[in-house]
Chains A and B, each alone.
Chain A
């Protein structure tokens, strides 16, 4: 018999006993003695049931404490893993810096600097997850803001920048390709801009149901003929990376060339599992 059943049965017998007691008020003493014995037994059963209840509650509290500590442990481990990943990326970054110093030609060194900014984007995504409450998802808006600003600062040269992004919770599966894609588009835009040009604009907006639109626009301002459009130049590494990431994000890329180059990627909004 479970505790609840015991208590309910005990209460039922108690109630009927009380009822009988009322009706038997004028009964003889022998009947009173029987009733008393019954009540005493019921009382004893209730005491046992209550003790069992207390024990069950303590068992539950123990289980909850164990689960809580397992969750704390999981958070610690995840944080440690993310920290290791980020640290390893920094060591790889240092190796690239050391390698770059050994190279004399400018083109190779520029290529390695570009590699560094891609690694940085990866590291920044991990940093976002580390700082989030659930260690799984993060808001893409401050991430894009910081990523774009750091890419601009990294390049130096004081190009203007404005970032507008709608708040959107994303996981690593979406955040990593998106971060790398923005890195390519922004670096291309920075590469084509100079001091005195208009600001580079980065925008991520929710379009109609379930669709996201990423835009990277150059301010333009200089008449430099037809600027190089990365996606149209299959020889460039940036073009290869952009094509792969747009495909991974199930998106469509449009590049237009008016006042500076404007790249737009339309992609489905990520579904968080």
Chain B
């Protein structure tokens, strides 16, 4: 298994503008965005291909599977740290995230400061 790419971050969100904004925020921290994905399947394929150190994962995604499903597979097969980025505070969603060994959970909207803090913590761990 090849090493994870040190400073590479994958962004998963089914709203393309939200994914674009998160990407510029990540790049603003001096990190590289190694791709964006809009569905769980795309996210898994992207992670296998690019081996990101960190995945910013939305929970509600287009398609049958959600971000929690994708995160389970990515965590198990690639080993990336997954930071959930969600707009929902619904207990059912949070309970699902909880069972998924999330590296961190951020609630939209996210400031540069919060993003830096979460990514540094996750990479330092």
The interface of chain A, by Cβ under 8 A from chain B, is 86-87, 90-91, 93-95, 97-98, 101, 113, 116, 119-120, 123, 127, 130-131, 150, 153-156
Contact = CB atoms under 8 A, between A and B. Distances in A.
A102 to B, nearest CB: 10
Contacts of B90: 130-131
B50 interface: no
A19 B29 CA distance: 98
B113 A91 contact: no
Contact of A123 (B15, B21, B109): B109
Interface in B68-118: 87, 89-90, 107-109, 111, 113-114, 117
Interface of B: 15, 17-18, 20-22, 24-25, 28, 87, 89-90, 107-109, 111, 113-114, 117
Nearest to A98: B21
Contacts of A87: 15, 87
A103 to B, nearest CB: 12
A101 B89 contact: no
A63 B21 CA distance: 50
Contacts of A119: 109
A120 B108 CA distance: 8
Binding site of B, secondary structure by majority: helix, strand, loop or mixed?
Answer: helix
Contacts of B24: 97-98, 101
B18 A91 contact: yes
Nearest to B15: A91
B90 to A, nearest CB: 7
A32 to B, nearest CB: 72
A90 B20 contact: no
A119 B17 CA distance: 16
B113 A156 contact: yes
Please list the 5 inter-chain residue pairs (A to B) with the smallest Cβ-Cβ separation, ordered nearest first: A94-B21, A156-B113, A97-B21, A154-B111, A93-B109
Given A97-B24, A98-B21, A90 B89 contact: no
B113 A155 contact: yes
A119 B87 CA distance: 13
Given A90-B15, A91-B18, A101-B24, 10 more contacts: A94-B17, A101-B28, A120-B109, A130-B90, A131-B90, A153-B113, A153-B114, A154-B113, A156-B114, A156-B117
